[in-house]
Amino acid sequence: MIPKFIEIAFNCLIKKKVKTAPFKLHLVELVLNCIYYNPRLTLGLLEQIQWTNKFFELWFQQVDHLPRVHDKKLSILTLCTLLELPLDQLPPSLASFWPHLFDGVLKIFSTYAEAEAERKRMETGDYEDEDDFDYDEHGFVDTGDEDEDYEEEEAEETLDHLAQEASYHAPHAEEDEDESDDELWDVEEFLQEDISFVTPLDPINPYQRFQHLLTYLSSTGQASALETRLTNEQKSILSTCVQKAAAPTPSQ
C-alpha cells in the first residue's frame, strides 16, 4: 500500500497541479526525506507506481539551483545514501543512472560553501556597509530626493512581485497544460535563506558524510571507476570536499 502523502505529492507533481515554486520544492523534498530515511522502501514504492524516472527527472532539473543550505544538504545526504546502496538493490533504470548520482553530489557541493557562508553572515550580521552616505554639517544623512526615488522603486518592485504571485494563482493557470516547468522552478526568487529555519539535519557535516561515502566506495572498488570519468573541474571540487572533511569543526 502506498503512503497517502507520497501519492498526494506525486499526483500534484506529475499532473502539474503545483502553482508556486516553493510548493513544488516542498513536495520534492518530502519524497527526498523518505528516500533519506528509508531508501529501499521508498524506491520500491516509486517503482510500484512507475514514478522513479519522473521523480529523478524533476529533482535533477534544478538540483544546482537549490537556494538554501538545508535544500542543498538534504540533496547531498540523500544522494550519499543512494550511492551506498548495492547496485543490485537499485531499480534497473536508476542503476544505469548511478554514476550521475555522484556527479549530482559534486554539482551541489560546487555551490554549497557559498550558501553556507551567506547563512553564517546572516547569523552574525557580518555585512559590510556598501552604502555611500553624504552627511551635512550636523552629521545627519543628506539623502535629498533619493528617498523618494527609492520608495518609488520599491513600490514598483512590490507590485511586480504581487502581480507575479497572482499569475500563479490565476484561474487560467490550472487549465494551461503547456505551463513552463522553468517558471515553476524559479525557486531562488521565492525561497531565501532563513536563519530561523532549523532542522534535525543542521548538526550533520555534509563534507564528513561525503568522506564516509568515499571510504565506502573505495572499499567496494567503485571509487576508481567513478574518478576516472571525472572532469578536471569535478576533481577540483572533490579535492576541496576531502580537505573540508578533514578540517576540524568549530566544536572540536
Domain ranges of the chain: 4-123+185-246
Give the pLDDT band of residue 168 (cuts 50, 70, 90): very low
Give the angle subtended at the CA of 69 by the CAs of 203 and 184, to the nearest 5°: 140
Which pLDDT does position 87 carry in this prediction?
A: 86
For residue 249, pLDDT beyond 80: no
Give the pLDDT band of residue 160 (cuts 50, 70, 90): low
Which pLDDT does position 20 carry in this prediction?
A: 76
- The pLDDT tens digits for 6-21 are 777 777 777 666 667 7
For residue 224, pLDDT beyond 70: yes
Question: What's at 249, amino acid-wise?
Answer: T
Lookup result for grid cell 556527479 = 103
Interacting residues of 122 by C-beta distance below 8 A, sequence separation 6+: 193, 195
Q: What are phi and psi of 198, to 5 degrees?
A: -125, 150
User: How far apart are alpha carbons 74 and 90 in whole angstroms?
Assistant: 20
* Window from 25-29, 109-113, 182-186, 238-242 with minimum mean pLDDT: 182-186
- The pLDDT tens digits for 226-246 are 888 999 999 999 999 999 999
Give the pLDDT band of residue 176 (cuts 50, 70, 90): very low
Task: Tell me if residue 44 falls in helix, strand or coil.
Answer: helix
User: How far apart are alpha carbons 224 and 99 in whole angstroms?
Assistant: 12
* CB-CB contact of 200 with 79 (8 Å): no
Q: What is the sign of the dihedral through the CA atoms of 30, 35, 41 and 43?
A: positive
Q: What is the H or E stretch that residue 12 is in? A: helix 4-14
Which pLDDT does position 22 carry in this prediction?
A: 79
Helices (H) and strands (E) in the chain, counts: 13, 0
Task: Provide the whole-model pTM.
Answer: 0.74
* Window from 58-72, 93-107, 177-191 with minimum mean pLDDT: 177-191
